[in-house]
Amino acid sequence: MVSANQLDAITPSNHRLRCRDCGTVAAHSDWRCSACLGLLRLEWTKPTPGQRVDPTRSGVWHYRPLLPSVEPSAIVSLGEGATPLVWIDRWARAHAIERVGVKLEYVSPTGSFKDRGTTMLLSVARSLGLAKVVEDSSGNAGASVAAYAARAGLSATIYVPSSAPAAKRAQIARVGATIVPVDGPRSAVTEAALTDVDRTGAYYAGHNANPYFAAGMASFAYELIETFGAQLPRHLIVPTGGGSLVVGCFDGFLRWFGDSDEARRRCPRIHAVQSAGCAPLVAAFGRGLDHAPPIERRPTIAGGIEVERPPRDREILAAIRATGGSAVAVDDEEIRRERRLLAQSEGIDVEPTTAAAFAGLAQLVRDGVIRSDEVTLVVATGAGWKDPG
C-alpha cells in the first residue's frame, strides 16, 4: 500500500498532447492542433506505473496513477465509476446464448457512462483555471458536463439538437447550465458550439473530440480487468456514435497490459453497434475503409448514437479491427423489441440508444460472429428515464 502523497510523487505531469495528423505537440489547454486543426492524441511520457491503483479512492479515481495527472485539489467528482455488473440469464436464453453480462453504466451520478469522461475532463479544466466550458451533445454528455461544471463552479453552455429528449434537456437546465437547442443534423450542433468557442474563448469540452474525455473512459477497461482478472469476456458490445468509450477503453487495455500484439489478443473483441438510420462506421467497416464515409441519414430513436461524422472515426475503426471485433447496424423495430424484452425479462430499463447494443448482440449471435458459448459483456450506457420514448 502507498499513501496518496507517495502517489503524487509517482505521477507528476505524465502526458502530453500531440496532433494525430501533423505531430505537433499541443498545450494541455488545447483541444485541437493550432497548426492544422487536427485532433489531439494523449501520449504518455512515463511508462505504465507499477502501482496502478490509489487505494485511498474508489470509482474512476481509484485508477488515478493510470490517468492524466491533475492536482488532487482540482479533481471534480460526483462518485462516478465502480458500476455494477449483472448477468442476464433469462434474456440470454431467449437468444440462445449462454453467458451475457451487463455493465450497468447508467448507475452513474447523471445516469449515463459519460460521467467517466466528464470527471477527467472537468478536473483538467479546473486544474487549468478555466472559467467556462462549451459542449455539444444529444443529451447525456451535455447533462454530465453541465452537472460536473456546477460541481466545479464553472459556467457551462450546452448545445443540443432541438430533437433531444425533454428529460435530458430538463436535466441540463436544472443544474444551471445554459442550454441552446439547434435545428438540423447533429453536425450543425457541433458547428454552433465551435462558433461559441471561437467567439468567447471558452474551453471546448466536446466529448467526441477532447482527448481528456476518452482518457477518463479508460477507467471502464481498468474496472473490467480488476473484476475479471485474466478471464476477460470474449466480446464487448458497445452502442457507438462518437465512440469515446470504444477509443477510451481500448487505450485503457493497452495502458494496463502494455502496447503489444499480445495485449491486443488479451482485449475483448470490441463490437460497435449503430442505428441503421445512421451507420457511418458500419459502412466503413464493411468496405474496409480506415475512415467513415459520407452517409445518407434517416431518423432513428437511438439519438445518442446518431453521429454522422464521428471525429474519432479512424481510432474507433482501428480499435475494432485490432481486437478482432466488428461493426453492426440495427433498425428501430429491433431496438424497441429488445428494450421491451430486457425491461420485462430482467428489470433493466435502458434508453433506446442502449437497447441498440442488445439488438446488435442478438444479430451477431444470429450471424455466427459470436458463438453461443462465448462470454459476452454489454455496456448499458444510459438510463431509460432519460429518454422514455
Span of 21-29, 75-83, 136-144, 349-357 interacting with Zn ion by CB under 5 A: 21-29
Q: How far is the CB of 42 from Zn ion (least distance, A)?
A: 15
For Zn ion, the binding residues in 225-264 under the rule CB under 5 A are none
Backbone angles phi, psi at 17, to 5 degrees: -105, 130
The region of 27-35, 90-98, 178-186, 278-286 touching Zn ion under the rule CB under 5 A is 27-35
Q: How far is the CB of 120 from Zn ion (least distance, A)?
A: 23
**Those residues with Cβ within 8 angstroms of residue 3's Cβ, 6 or more apart along the chain or in another chain:** 56
Q: Of the two residues 182 and 197, which places its CB atom closer to Zn ion in the complex?
A: 197
The residue behind cell 492544422 is 36
Residue closer to Zn ion by CB (options 29, 200) is 29
Subset of 31-90 contacting Zn ion (CB under 5 A):
33, 35-36, 38
Q: Give the whole-angstrom CA distance, residue 313 versus residue 2.
A: 39
**Closer residue to Zn ion, CB minimum distance, 23 or 299:** 23
With beta carbons less than 8 A apart as the criterion, state whether 193 and 204 touch.
yes
Considering only residues 134 through 173, tell me which ones interact with Zn ion, judged by CB under 5 A.
none
Q: How far is the CB of 312 from Zn ion (least distance, A)?
A: 15
Q: Please report whether residue 22 would count as binding Zn ion according to CB under 5 A.
A: yes
Output the smallest distance, CB 21 to Zn ion, in A: 5
Rg of the chain, C-alpha, whole Å: 19
Within the chain, strands assigned E span 15-19, 25-26, 40-44, 85-87, 100-103, 132-136, 155-161, 178-182, 203-204, 235-239, 269-275, 326-330, 376-379
- Please report how close the Cβ of residue 27 comes to Zn ion at its closest, in angstroms: 13
3-state secondary structure of 103: strand
**Other C-beta atoms lying within 10 Å of the C-beta of residue 24:** 15
Residue 4 binding Zn ion, by CB under 5 A: no
Separation between Cα atoms, residue 91 and residue 241, nearest integer Å: 25
Take residue 162 and report the three cell numbers written for it.
Answer: 432541438
Secondary-structure percent of the chain, ordered helix, strand, coil, rounded to 5: 45, 15, 40
| Binds Zn ion by CB under 5 A, chosen from 17, 19, 237, 359 | 19
Shorter beta-carbon distance to Zn ion: residue 35 or 96 = 35
- The distance of closest approach from Cβ of residue 17 to Zn ion in the complex, given in angstroms and rounded to an integer, is 11
Residue 25 found at the interface with Zn ion (CB under 5 A): no
Of 247, 269, 257, 246, nearest in space to 222 by CA? 257
By beta-carbon proximity to Zn ion, the closer residue of 39 and 60 is 39
- Report the residue number, 19 or 322, with the smaller CB distance to Zn ion: 19
Give the helix ranges, DSSP H, for 175-331. 186-200, 211-228, 244-257, 261-266, 280-286, 313-322
Encode burial over 292-323: b for 16+ CB neighbours within 10 A, e otherwise.
beebebeebbbbbbbbbbbbbbbbbbebbbbb
Q: Quick one: 38 or 181, whose CB is closer to Zn ion?
A: 38
Of 259-318, binders to Zn ion (CB under 5 A) are: none
We find the least distance from the C-beta atom of residue 36 to Zn ion, in angstroms, to be 3
The residue among 36 and 96 lying less far from Zn ion, judged by its C-beta, is 36
Residue 291 DSSP code: S
Q: CB 211 → Zn ion: shortest distance, Å?
A: 13
Stretch that binds Zn ion, among 28-36, 123-131, 176-184, 331-339 (CB under 5 A): 28-36
> Cβ closer to Zn ion: 39 or 143?
39
- Cβ closer to Zn ion: 8 or 21? 21
Interface segment toward Zn ion; rule CB under 5 A; list 11-19, 103-111, 272-280, 304-312: 11-19
Amino acid at 30: D
Residues that bind Zn ion (CB under 5 A): 19, 21-22, 24, 33, 35-36, 38
